[in-house]
Structure 1
């Protein structure tokens, strides 16, 4: 395909940055591709793959170091302003003005793009209707939920009709319901206006919607083709295994993912485990791993091909990015007596208000020792507020809240000594070494002398961390590994994880959950929030909240059955079904947004 018939043409494209240690980092390394006009195209890859760098070059915001890049027939290096005048670009963190209302944000972007009063009236009406923001035009952008902010960002991006729309991970950090709504809006725009769209994403279900998919990792283009063509790479290698009675799917998944010579990937799904056999191994090699689990072959999915490509590339590069972040529970972990009847978190009629606004309303549940308990909900549902109250970071307005045998209403400091906490964003000291961070947090938790030295040494070994490495220069997966190490150094009874895998790649995500499984086997109680519905399958029980109210509580299987989709249901669909049913039955209009 020649450049005159393509929306975007890249040839031998390279872009490097100087790392903090002075070395050169190849963000884009010899990438060539061509995108035809009028298509929906996806760039997929883990964090650090180069997706954002590539999108910024296509938007004329970064200049290539080597190679050529033509967008809409324009050489980006020579005339970036011409490119910017014809495209619309929505970065991951779109620049909304949070003190301005929804309408004022739209007006501001229309002014910036010179949209006429006649055109903006028509355009605003349609965009507000499509995004469901018609009732919220006077609300400050800062008071919107994460999903609503993403919708407003898309509306501001589209106040004019571009020749090409570039979207850099538009659904990052938003819940399944908001993701679905965003893609419905995109589909409508593509159908009605014939937009050419290029999107970067870490979600394979989103890439499945596209006509062409490019797979990136560490700045290299690993593969390209239609979703069907890419799926073909995993045909005959994908299976599902049903664990024996009484065995949790995550335990079987852990056994499979530990066998990296024979298994390329494994993930719980629908009470079973979906896994990919390595191309070099045969069915006969799996018997000792599966024991009496029932195995059957499955049609390949795009994610299967994606994980195969990543595994092959990581192995070829000699990286250990896919290795478990924590050793299998071999008895070396701190032991916590595990008793299914031992309640370590007790919540009764919990309420949190901010002025006249009720963020959490009359919520009640228990969490047992050694349990992995998931808090799920759409953006703005109240789960983060609930989570912060459980951690002792936010006082409750009313209700009863006992954590590790301590009443958090009256003795939050005493409870915090029994818990560990890993924040959503890396919150350690970036300029300190790994060892210095661990020593600091060990001291903050009250460890001293020989005990501190012993715990730091054990933690470094257990988590496979380089003690001299500068924390801020670690890859995201290792940063998260360090954050969990710091949260566990005082051997807490309970570990709180706030969207722990947000922003880290699928290989590191699998390794992270392998670590959580090991902790649970050792009797540590884990409370986790997540927007990845596949991760709900690792939990013993999950709670779904919306508009501050508890909608569902039970095992993943019970929640799927409540949604009416049966044992084989996809958790993503079950989540959406439960939230929509509750909203249809009268949840407030905050949830409807």
Structure 2
């Protein structure tokens, strides 16, 4: 089955590891595929699907246990070095040297790859131009924003001109502006250099830009084809529901996604809810479920087909645990209508650098409030001050009725916190982590045992699994469970869905919606703009300044238009408008 024209040829490929709980884990299981040259190819699938394992085998970093794998006509198992001499690979955590400058990082990777001195000047100039980093060659890599680090990582990966580029979720953790820039660079490489690129991604809109898509699940290949052909699997089943003015899109979405017998998937967008109906759904029952919402047919997309495939396999494996949708203690507290967070003139400086400049807002009890902004915008600094993890330079900050300047420790007892990076103990089991954090929150004896058991059941966790070996989506569920152990009044979530697949994001947000309905206040940072649609209000920051504050519709209207635009476009427009205004002000007050 050799195909000399294909960039990658895999036949019955298999890679097995030992599972966290013991026994074999077939990370890649009997996979056969062909990757065409000179094209963008996407690998998509939920956490644990086998995408990274497959990429690492293609890169010659893992040896297959069975099957054959030809990369650029080379047997990757027999001669991995020959493969590595002709490819470039950017893993999820690309290793920049943060104490070296941008130029020094480029020089180092050119040395490692043996790039001749005479070839470097032209290659470096091209990479710096494409990434728009020529102005920052003297800046330390550790001082770059997340998006700039990703672009530098890509430039270092491409210090030589490869025949095949492998990218493992390159846009995880970067904002829409940086994500757009990254894809423009990749597209330019494909067009100008006829480069073959294989990218794994959690973003279906990214996969739609590719010529070929492979859908993986639990190590197996579920489907392959052009995005439009795969999307055709959902033809005639995709609709938009426009709720009545008194029903938030988030609540309608929760109602729809709970109706598994009628609905495959539902997600809020542009003030409405995009949903997929089950093929055999009863029309009368569907009409009753929608209530007064207006239903309109819409064109099917790749994500629709992807969600249909995942739901089908989820059902075949048995229903996933249903998230709790009520929080009785929080519901009792929700009778108090006063703001639970008050921010007035908040400023944070690091030496001469102002990370947050005179920010003011309030958050109501039971509200979902989103903090958005490009990498390096100041939102994480704001977030850390709200959590009591970082003191403000000046201004007033009140959380749960307590002034964080004078009662930070007491305030922390009323909040839950889930960090951007997995912050639990990787060498402990799920149960041991929850027992430890329960004790840290002051839970003792029977009360702690009951709360730990409730969280394990609620989030469908395996108590004996070693935490550090869990896939990303399961780690996120464990972190959420730890943050909710002590039933906090306010839950702070710092990019909690970064790097997890759409199915896991839906389950996560169904839980959050239930918490908010029960009166828990949720403050979240995210780079998935679709998640801003779940929020009651959002704030967009850039360069420490507040650019927008309001409901998702109000923010979309501020960006221009009638408020029906997608949030990605609105975010980019507002940030670019803010930067243009700041540039015109030439350093003056904006």
Provide TM-score, normalisation by structure 1: 0.95
CA distance in 2, matches of 1:536, 1:417: 27
Mark the CA change 1:229 to 1:404 in structure 2 (over 3 Å): closer, same or farther: same
The separation in 2 between residues aligned to 1:448 and 1:185, in whole angstroms, is: 54
- Establish whether residue 91 from structure 1 lines up as the match of residue 88 from structure 2: no
Distance 2:447 2:403 in 1: 28
Report whether the alignment pairs 1:328 with 2:325: yes
Q: Which of 122-131 and 453-462 deviates more?
A: 453-462
* Map 1:370-449 → 2, pairs under 5 A: 370-449=366-445
Confirm or deny: 8 A CA contact 1:266 1:273 kept in the other structure: yes
Do the aligned residues in 2 keep the contact of 1:87 with 1:164 (CA within 8 Å)? yes
User: 1:456 deviation in Å?
Assistant: 4.0
Task: Say whether 1:248 aligns with 2:248.
Answer: yes
Residue 516, structure 1, aligned to residue 518, structure 2: no
Deviation at 1:9, TM superposition (A): 0.6
Report what 2:116 is aligned to: 116
Question: Matched residues in 2 for 1:452 and 1:254: separation?
Answer: 30
From the superposition, tell whether residues 360 and 336 of structure 1 become closer, same or farther in structure 2 (CA, over 3 Å). Answer: farther
3-state SS of 1:561 partner: helix
Q: CA deviation at 1:458?
A: 4.5
Instruction: Give CA deviations for 1:500-558 in whole Å, capped at 9, x if unaligned.
Output: 11232221211111111111111111001111111000000000111111110000000
| 1:457 Cα deviation from its structure 2 partner | 4.7
What is the alpha-carbon distance in structure 1 between the residues aligned to residue 81 and residue 455 of structure 2?
A: 52
Q: Distance in 2 between matches of 1:21 and 1:164?
A: 36
Query: In structure 2, how many angstroms separate the alpha carbons of the residues matched to 1:475 and 1:71?
Result: 27
- Identify the range of structure 1 (484-493 vs 6-15) with the bigger mean alpha-carbon deviation: 484-493
Instruction: Please say if residues 349 and 363 of structure 1, whose CA atoms lie closer than 8 Å, have aligned partners that are also in contact.
Output: yes
Summarize the alignment of residues 475-490 of structure 1 with structure 2, pairs less than 5 Å apart: 475-490=471-486
The aligned residue for residue 567 of structure 1 is 563
The 10-residue stretch of structure 1 (222-231 or 106-115) with the greater mean CA deviation from structure 2:
106-115
Q: Aligned in 2, Cα 1:173/1:589: closer, same or farther, shift over 3 Å? A: farther
Tell me, in whole angstroms, the C-alpha distance in 2 between the residues paired with 1:185 and 1:589.
29
Distance 1:437 1:167, change over 3 A: closer
Change in Cα spacing, 1:59 to 1:456, as seen in structure 2 (3 Å) is closer
What's the CA shift for 1:169? 1.1
CA deviation map 1:17-37 (0-9, x unaligned): 112333111110011011121
Tell me the distance in 2 between the aligned counterparts of 1:435 and 1:115.
Answer: 50
Q: Paired residues, what number?
A: 586
Provide the rounded CA distance (Å) in 1 between the counterparts of 2:449 and 2:164: 57
Distance in 1 between residues matched to 2:2 and 2:453, nearest whole Å: 59
Is 1:306 the counterpart of 2:316? The answer is: no
Contact 2:20 2:466 in 1 (8 A): no
Shift of 1:320: 3.9
Change (3 A) 1:31 1:401: same
1:282 is displaced (CA, Å) by: 4.2
Q: What is the aligned partner in structure 2 of residue 229 from structure 1?
A: 229
- In the superposition, relative to structure 1, how do residues 31 and 461 fare at CA in structure 2: closer, same or farther (>3 Å)? closer
- Structure 1 position 481, deviation (Å): 2.7
Identify the range of structure 1 (218-227 vs 33-42) with the bigger mean alpha-carbon deviation.
33-42
The answer to which of 107-116 and 158-167 deviates more is: 107-116
Equivalences for residues 176-195 of structure 1 within 5 A: 176-195=176-195
Q: Is the 8 A contact 1:336 1:524 kept in 2?
A: no
Q: Give the deviation of 1:474 after TM superposition.
A: 4.8
Q: C-alpha distance in 1, partners of 2:459/2:156?
A: 44
Distance in 2, Cα, partners of 1:552 & 1:113: 45
The answer for the alignment partner of 1:172 in structure 2 is 172
* Equivalence for 1:295: 295
Q: CA-to-partner distance for each residue in 1:481-511, whole Å, 9 max, x for gaps?
A: 3322322222221111111112322212111
Which of 216-225 and 193-202 deviates more? Answer: 193-202
Query: SS in structure 2 opposite 1:127?
Result: helix
Q: Distance in 2 between matches of 1:498 and 1:276?
A: 29
| Counterpart contact for 2:328–2:518, Cα < 8 Å | no
Q: Pick closer, same or farther for the CA change 1:92–1:431 going to 2, 3 Å.
A: closer
Deviates more, 1:35-44 or 1:333-342: 333-342
| Match of residue 59 from structure 1 | 59
C-alpha change, 1:183 and 1:478, in structure 2 (3 Å) is: closer
Give the corresponding residue for 2:13.
Answer: 13
The 3 A distance-change label for structure 1 pair 251 and 277 is same
Q: How many Å separate the matches in 1 of 2:457 and 2:42?
A: 40
**Residue deviations 1:413-458 (CA, integer Å, cap 9, x gap):** 1111111111223323344444443333233222334544454455
CA contact (8 A) 1:237 1:279 kept: yes
Paired residue for 1:103?
A: 103
Q: Which runs of 5+ in 1 are unaligned?
A: none
Offset of residue 386 of structure 1: 0.6
Instruction: Provide TM-score, normalisation by structure 2.
Output: 0.95
Compared CA separation, residues 485 and 116, structure 1 to 2 (3 A) = closer
Give ranges in structure 2 of 5+ residues lacking alignment.
Answer: none
Alpha carbons 1:336, 1:493 under 8 Å: kept: no
Give runs of aligned pairs for residues 459-498 of structure 1, distance below 5 A.
459-465=455-461, 467=463, 470-472=466-468, 474-498=470-494
Aligned 8 A contact 1:565 1:574 in 2:
no
Paired with 1:239 and 1:299, the residues of 2 have a C-alpha distance of: 8
Aligned partner of residue 586 in structure 1, secondary structure: helix
SS of the residue corresponding to residue 292 of structure 1 reads: coil
Cα distance change, pair 473–148 in 1 and its aligned pair in 2 (3 A): closer
Per the alignment, in what secondary structure is the counterpart of residue 398 of structure 2?
A: strand
CA contact (8 A) 1:175 1:378 kept: yes
Q: CA RMSD in A?
A: 2.0
Counterpart-to-counterpart distance in 2, 1:424 and 1:319: 30
